[in-house]
Amino acid sequence: MKLTEREENYIVKKKENIFHVVFAVMLVVFGFFLIQKHTEVENVVVEGCYHYTAADMRDIVERGWFGDNTIMLSFKYKNKTIKDIPFIESVNVDVVSANSVKIYVQEKEVAGFVNYRDSLMYFDRDGVVVECTDVRMQGIPEVTGLKFDKCDLYEKLPVGDDRVFGQILDLAQALRANDLAISRIDVDENEGFSAESGDILIKFGKFDNIDRKVQMAAKLLFDLGVEYPKSGVLHLEDYELGKETFYFT
């Protein structure tokens, strides 16, 4: 059966349209892979991250489809709140060049953790539990001596006096600032503070003059360490301004 001129024109037009669509798709695919090739991440700078290494953060950020593409990363992580990475509040990725990105990390402010039902419950300055994990993070001390009857994620630890949480964080930060590595902070029933550094227990007593007490502890353990034992208890409970009283047991 012979086609009419109108039918022949329709078929020709349809074939042309299909060709144009296929050609356009090929151009898009070619352009996409060309862009992908020239925007592959090669250099990464990480800022604001304490709990993870730069390599760790790069692995975390580059997960998923086209995770190694600078343009895709900049769209994916634009002041994005992070929910599935312990201790990370948000991540922002800026494109420095076609192959370089800068990752800005905002971490959750963590004071310490308590061991509760075989889980490590990390809490912030306000005593709110911000993470529940079995991962022991370097630089975050275990806190013992706190009395509470429950511990729930995103809720405040019910300890009575909420001031203790800020004091724990201030003490931990002061110890880090003076290069004193600690594994544990203890708060006794009389609101006395102590910290475990290696095999030495430093007893600070009340929180008064805590910065000066920490500085003195660092001086004794570093500058004068050769004169004192490598294990035992350093007592600074009776410290007073102008009276630098201390002793080892």
> How many other β-carbons are positioned within 10 Å of the β-carbon of residue 7?
10
Instruction: Examine the domain organization and report whether 132 and 242 are in the same domain.
Output: yes
Helix (H, G, I), strand (E, B) or coil at 149: coil
Instruction: Examine the domain organization and report whether 140 and 243 are in the same domain.
Output: yes
Distance, in Å, from the CA atom of 216 to the CA atom of 210, rounded to the nearest integer, reads 10
Query: What's the total number of domains in the chain?
Result: 3
Instruction: Examine the domain organization and report whether 124 and 214 are in the same domain.
Output: yes
Instruction: Examine the domain organization and report whether 72 and 18 are in the same domain.
Output: no
- Nearest CA to 185 out of 147, 144, 228 is that of 144
The CATH number of residue 189's host domain is 3.40.50.11690
Whether the pLDDT of residue 106 is over 90: the answer is no
Whether the pLDDT of residue 229 is over 80: the answer is no
Instruction: Examine the domain organization and report whether 51 and 116 are in the same domain.
Output: no
The CATH number of residue 92's host domain is 3.10.20
Instruction: Examine the domain organization and report whether 133 and 215 are in the same domain.
Output: yes
Domain of 71, in residue numbers: 43-107
Instruction: Examine the domain organization and report whether 9 and 99 are in the same domain.
Output: no
For position 108, what pLDDT does the model report? Answer: 80
Distance, in Å, from the CA atom of 66 to the CA atom of 221, rounded to the nearest integer, reads 50
* Contact (Cβ atoms closer than 8 angstroms) between residue 184 and residue 229: no
pLDDT tens digit sequence for 120-166 = 999 988 898 988 888 888 888 999 999 998 899 888 999 888 889 99
Task: Work out the angle at residue 189's Cα, subtended by the Cα atoms of residues 161 and 230, and round it to the nearest 5 degrees.
Answer: 120
pLDDT tens digit sequence for 173-203 = 999 999 888 999 999 988 889 999 888 899 9
Instruction: Examine the domain organization and report whether 97 and 127 are in the same domain.
Output: no
* Structure tokens belonging to residue 123: 């809490």
